[in-house]
Amino acid sequence: MTTPRAPEASKPADASTSPAPRDRAAGLSGAAEKNLREAAAHLQQQRFDEGERALIGVLASAAEHPEALRLLAIVLGQRGRHREALATLERALAQWPDDALLLNELGKVRLRLGDVEAAIDAWRRACAVSPGLFEANIHLGTQLLAQGSVGEARDALQRAVAADPDHAIARVKLADTLVYLGDLAQAAAGYREALRRRPACGPAWWGLASMRTVPFEASEFEQLSALYRAPEGSEPDRVAMGFALAKAYEDRERYSDAFATLCEANAKARRRIDWNAAEFLARVDHLLRIFAPPAAAPGQTSLGQEVIFIVSLPRAGSTLTEQILAAHPDVEGASELSDLGAVIDEESARRGAGFLQWVAQATSSDWSRMGQRYLERTARWRATRPRFTDKMPNNWLYLGAALAMLPGARVIDCRRDALETCWSCFRQLFSSGAVFSYDLNDIAIYYKAYDHAMRHWSRHYPERIRRQDYENLLADPDAQIAELLAFCALPTHPDCLRFNESGRIVRTASAAQVREPLRRDTARAQHYGALLDPLRKALDSATDD
């Protein structure tokens, strides 16, 4: 899971004038042009009702004017009417097919409709027409990064920074990309430049702290402390600064201050999250009760042998395990893929029912069809190597479905000491997914659900799931790596023992750490002593079946 990058206030509806030399009001009467400019001004300030009223005056006399249609599409998108917005943009693009602002808006609508590839294509076209269009570049960079196209993402984000040098979040996103590429010195410089331009930029403080290889300078520590305590600033910025400050306290061995700051920052974050632990546990229990592993369809027992799923709680060693496997010449490390969930969502849409409603009725043929679909979606990860890893942590929830789809796949269950895992989750500010991680009791409950589910799946699929213990890997890496490769039916290879020398891109919170040799001093819970007794108690309760 990647570290968070809160959105910065941007050109709200991107209703600005086009960077291309086009008169966007061409062909309108004086009154219609006045209404068009009023509509654009309202949308820039996110006054959508007023903007829509001004557009009525334009569309009454020029119903097919491309710029009026673009602004109308923005309003429709804000109303959640994305299909109508798409049709409206297509009408405009029929007249102005190479208009960067129309293409940028098309990308946003395509993304809202779930078509990521079409969104990326639209933003690529927008950037080709107008390389300096800030919003198209930052959208393109963000989505390319999520898809694993890190080099191209870097290029887009560099163009975004060039277009708006003072946009701190663009600089943070670019620095994130440099971390994933292993250019840690330039990444640190990027975060610090963002802070020079906007000192209270929480994501920049957290980006610098989460590298964990670059300690804060004394002056930075003092500045961060003052900014965190200042009454000004947004809540998301203050949350991110709180996590960064706790890391700085820990580096200075001020553990009680680190603990207090973490509790405060996590409490602020938890208030913004709607997650019910009891409902989550009930959903997991229901899933495990109704899922009956089917026999593989005839002739399909090897389907998915290209796939190695890596599941875990966050901060439990999954990135390290993937780094070891991806050092093998036969394995591509694909990081956190959304494809398994997407295939299940596609099937749910096809059936008109949720996963829990149809899973018990699925046949072996259904699962094989879905497995083939997963392999189609992930084909790009096998372009140069025959095997690949899928390290999406939340895949444990759908592991029964994954193994029904792909009978030849292997699963690695990454574990770390329970207290260390849960405490590390509490210390980490995640970008998405880890909604359970902002309360110690929630974390313990989530740990119980994971442990219970993995024991359930291991009973059903004992030959296809390997438990990989982080502490065992630290204690005897040669033997553990040999066993790991054997489980994955991979021949031994010396590069796997030198995993930290790999130049591969790593797109998770551990991107900096896995480029270092194995360290045996990564445990942190011991420094906090009795302060963690509530977590110890919650874990004792959570793991008591």
pLDDT at position 298 is 60
Give the max Cα distance, the chain. Answer: 79
Helix (H), strand (E) at residue 55: helix 48-59
**Structure token digits, residue 237:** 């910025």
* Of the candidates 346, 309, 301, the residue with the CA atom closest to the CA atom of residue 457: 309
Point out which residues pair with 309 in neighbouring strands: 390, 411
Task: Yes or no: say if 99 and 90 are a contact pair by the CB < 8 Å rule.
Answer: no
pLDDT at position 63 is 92
Task: Yes or no: say if 183 and 217 are a contact pair by the CB < 8 Å rule.
Answer: no
pLDDT at position 114 is 85
pTM value? 0.84
pLDDT at position 4 is 34
Q: At what angle do helices 100-112 and 66-78 cross, to 10 degrees?
A: 20
pLDDT at position 503 is 55
pLDDT at position 378 is 95
Give the angle subtended at the CA of 522 by the CAs of 519 and 526, to the nearest 5°: 145
* Cα–Cα dist 213/192, whole Å: 14
Mean pLDDT, 10 residues at a time, the chain of 545 residues: 37 43 84 91 93 91 93 94 96 96 97 92 97 96 88 96 96 93 91 96 95 86 95 90 96 96 95 92 90 66 94 91 93 92 94 92 92 95 96 91 94 95 94 86 94 93 94 92 96 87 53 52 83 93 53
Task: Yes or no: say if 203 and 240 are a contact pair by the CB < 8 Å rule.
Answer: yes
**Structure token digits, residue 227:** 């900014």
DSSP assignment letter at 307:
E
**Structure token digits, residue 355:** 């996963």
Please name the amino acid found at residue 241. M
Domains of the chain, earliest start first = 277-542 (3.40.50.300)
pLDDT at position 299 is 63
The radius of gyration of the chain from alpha carbons, rounded to an integer in Å, stands at 25
Point out which residues pair with 307 in neighbouring strands: 388
pLDDT at position 508 is 52
Task: Yes or no: say if 290 and 456 are a contact pair by the CB < 8 Å rule.
Answer: no
pLDDT at position 520 is 59
* Cα–Cα dist 380/360, whole Å: 31
pLDDT at position 517 is 54
